[in-house]
């Protein structure tokens, strides 16, 4: 168990990690969960695993003691998102997300539904695979950081609990949106590991120091020969 005595209260740092189960089989997802059980980390169910198994693994993972982030990035008209969340909020997950680009009304209605169910809801700002050129290609002239901040401010105004953003934007978001606003940061890579398709990446400790609340880590853990050892190695 990765415990850092320099962290307030000597907390288990693994509680800050959401391991992305981006795998192509139910069997592999269960094997990873078994390897990580008791470590303190969250599990993230994304689109690939959801397409394979829907919500059937949620109860299993909860019985194993995991907190769960259902990462489906909903983006549709407000009524459709609201009705979908009413279903998802009965599944037992602890956190869900939507796209901030869906607008204020969509986010506000999502927040109302999720909070009635006692579930955290966060908004996706700018995907960590996107750089300035990618934003310009879709008509956004703001820099990635400017766009992240704009969308995060709107998300907070709409009542969302936090946002998904690169840890490179974490410091400015923490400064502008306060200590309670949740910052979930993908694009986390241990020192020396491959970036793969991520553009804006930082190390785990850099992300926490910048103000991240939770770190999403995928391939460095899930594709390791020993996932539990790889999880511990994030803090070395």
Do 201 and 194 contact (CB within 8 A), yes or no? no
Whole-Å CA distances, 54 to 9, 12, 21, 101: 37, 30, 13, 25
- The span from the CA of 124 to the CA of 102, in Å, is 10
Single out the catalytic residue among 71, 120, 156, 161.
71
Overall size of the chain counted in residues: 236
C-beta of residue 183 within 8 angstroms of C-beta of residue 162: yes
Contact predicate 207/173, CB 8 Å? no
- What are the residues facing 18 on neighbouring strands? 42, 216
Annotated binding site for substrate: 22, 44, 71-80, 128, 189, 198, 218-219
Please enumerate, by residue number, every residue annotated as part of a binding site.
22, 44, 71-80, 128, 189, 198, 218-219
What is the phi/psi pair of residue 205, to 5°?
-65, -35
Please pick, among 62, 76, 94, 134, the residue that the annotation labels catalytic: 76
Tell me the two tokens of residue 149.
């901040």
Is 71 one of the catalytic residues? yes
Alpha-helix residue ranges (DSSP H) falling in 21-143: 26-36, 47-53, 56-63, 78-88, 104-116, 132-137
Whether 73 is catalytic is: yes
Which residues are known catalytic residues?
71, 73, 76
């Amino acid at each position: 168990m990765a415990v850092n005595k320099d962290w307030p209260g000597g907390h288990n740092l693994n509680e800050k990690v959401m391991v992305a189960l981006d795998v192509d089989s139910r069997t592999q997802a269960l094997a990873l969960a078994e390897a990580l059980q008791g470590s303190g980390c969250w599990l993230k169910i994304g689109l690939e695993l959801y397409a394979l198994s829907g919500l059937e693994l949620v109860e299993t993972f909860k019985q194993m003691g995991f907190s769960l982030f259902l990462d489906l990035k909903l983006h549709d008209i407000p009524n459709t998102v609201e009705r979908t969340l009413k279903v998802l909020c009965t599944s037992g997950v602890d956190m869900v997300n939507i796209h901030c680009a869906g607008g204020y009304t969509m986010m506000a209605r999502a927040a109302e539904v999720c909070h009635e169910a006692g579930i955290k809801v966060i908004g996706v700002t700018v995907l960590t695979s996107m750089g300035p050129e990618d934003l310009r290609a879709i008509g956004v002239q703001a820099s990635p950081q400017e766009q992240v901040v704009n969308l995060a401010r709107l998300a907070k105004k709409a009542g969302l609990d936090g946002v998904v953003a690169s840890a490179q934007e974490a410091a400015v978001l923490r400064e502008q949106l306060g200590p309670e606003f949740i910052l979930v940061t993908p694009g986390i890579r241990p020192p020396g590991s491959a970036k793969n398709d991520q553009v804006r990446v930082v190390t785990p400790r850099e992300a926490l120091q910048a103000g991240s609340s939770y770190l999403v880590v995928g391939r460095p853990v899930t594709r390791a020969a020993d996932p539990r050892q790889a999880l511990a190695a994030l803090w070395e």
